Structure 1
C-alpha cells in the first residue's frame, strides 16, 4: 500500500490518521505540493488522479483518489470491527452527508488556509464567510447532539470517518484567519477528537500532551 502524501495537507492527514488507527502498514510518497506542484505533473495526472489532486492511495495496484473516498475504502475493507463505517443504512447515510460537508469545509476553510499560508489567489472574504457558515451548522448540530448525550457527528457512541473527514480543516481554521471563539460546541468536539486513545496529529494539530509544552 502506498500513499501519495503532503505533510501539511489536511486531506492527506485524514488518510494517515485512519491508516494509523487501523494499524495498517504503508509507504509514503512525499509529493512536492508547494512550491513544486508535483500533483499537477503529467505523470501523476496520467497514472493516479486526472484531477491532479492529493491524496491518492494505491492498494493492490489500483489508485484511489479523493480523501473521503479513501476513508470509505479503508474502513470498508480493513476495519474488521466496523466501527469507523458502521454497517447500518441510516448511520451510513448520515456519514455520507457529513463527507459531503467535509468537502465544503475544504472548499472554504482549507482555501482560506491556502490563501494565507501558500499565497493561493482565492477570494479570502468569501472563503472565510463560507467557512463560518459551515462551522455554524456544525456547532448547532454538535450542541444539539451534546444535549442528548452524544459526542460525535454521525454516531453518538463513537467517532466515525465522518468525524475524521470534518476534523482537520476545522482544527486548522485559525491558519486561514478564522477564529472559533463563537463556536463552543465545535471547539469541544475538536478537543474530544484530539483526546482519543492513540491520537496522532500533524503540524498545527498536536496531540494534547505535546501541545501543552
Structure 2
C-alpha cells in the first residue's frame, strides 16, 4: 500500500473530508498536524514549498503531492480496491463530479462563514452566512427531489464522494447559527451519511436524531 501522509488541521473542514474518505475507504493515513490557527504554519516557508497556495489539506505520497481537496478525494477513492465511493454508471459519475465541484468551489464560502463565526477572523459574516444558507437550500431542494425518485444520496442510490464532500458544510453550519430544522431532507441525508461504514466525526459535528 502506498504511504499516505496528510498534513492536517483537525478543525479544518477540508482536512476532515480527506480523513473521512480515507476512513470510509479503509486506507491508513499518517497525520502530520499543522498549527493552522492561530500559528498559520501552513504559510511558513517549509509549507509553501509543499503548497505555494498556503493552505491545507496537503497529501504526500512517494510519487505525488496533492494540494486540492477534490483531487485528494478522487485519488484516495481510486486507491480503494472496492471503489466503494465511485459509481460505475456514467450519469451517476457525472452527477458525482458536478456536486464534487460544487462542494470545493461554491461551498467554499461556508468555510469562510464558519471561520468568521467561530475564529473571529475578518470578513462579512452576515453576507457569507446568507450565501451559505442559499447554497444549502440548493442542496435541500436536490435531496427533496432525490427522495421523490426513491434515491438516498446526491448522485443516486449509493453514497459517493459527492456526499462525503458535501457533508461537512451542512453538518458544521450550526457554527454559523444556521437552523437545521429548515432543511429536513438534508437532515435525513446526513443520517444516512453517518451510517456509512468507516464514518468518523470531527469537533463540531452534531448528532442527528
Q: Shared fold by TM > 0.5?
A: yes
Partner of 1:107: 108
1:11 aligns with 2:14: yes
Correspondence for 1:52 among 43, 54, 78: 54
Cα shift at 1:61:
4.1
Correspondence for 1:37 among 22, 36, 40: 40
1:92 aligns with 2:93: yes
Deviations 1:122-163 (CA, angstroms, capped at 9, x unpaired):
21111111111111110011011111111100122x110000
Cα shift at 1:72:
0.7
Pairwise CA RMSD of aligned residues?
1.7
More divergent stretch after superposition (136-145 vs 59-68)? 59-68
Counterparts of 1:28 and 1:35, CA distance in 2: 19
Q: Structure 1 residues 151 and 182, CA, compared in 2 at 3 Å: closer, same or farther?
A: same
Partner of 1:119: 120
Moved over 6 A (4+): none
Counterparts of 2:67 and 2:105, CA distance in 1: 17
Q: Structure 1 residues 171 and 105, CA, compared in 2 at 3 Å: closer, same or farther?
A: farther
Structure 2: any 5+ residue segments left out of the alignment? none
Counterparts of 1:51 and 1:44, CA distance in 2: 9
More divergent stretch after superposition (17-26 vs 104-113)? 104-113
Partner of 1:204: 204
* TM-score (norm: length of structure 2): 0.92
Where do residues 75-90 of structure 1 align in structure 2 (5 Å cutoff)?
75-76=77-78, 78-90=79-91
Partner of 1:22: 25
Counterparts of 1:105 and 1:187, CA distance in 2: 20
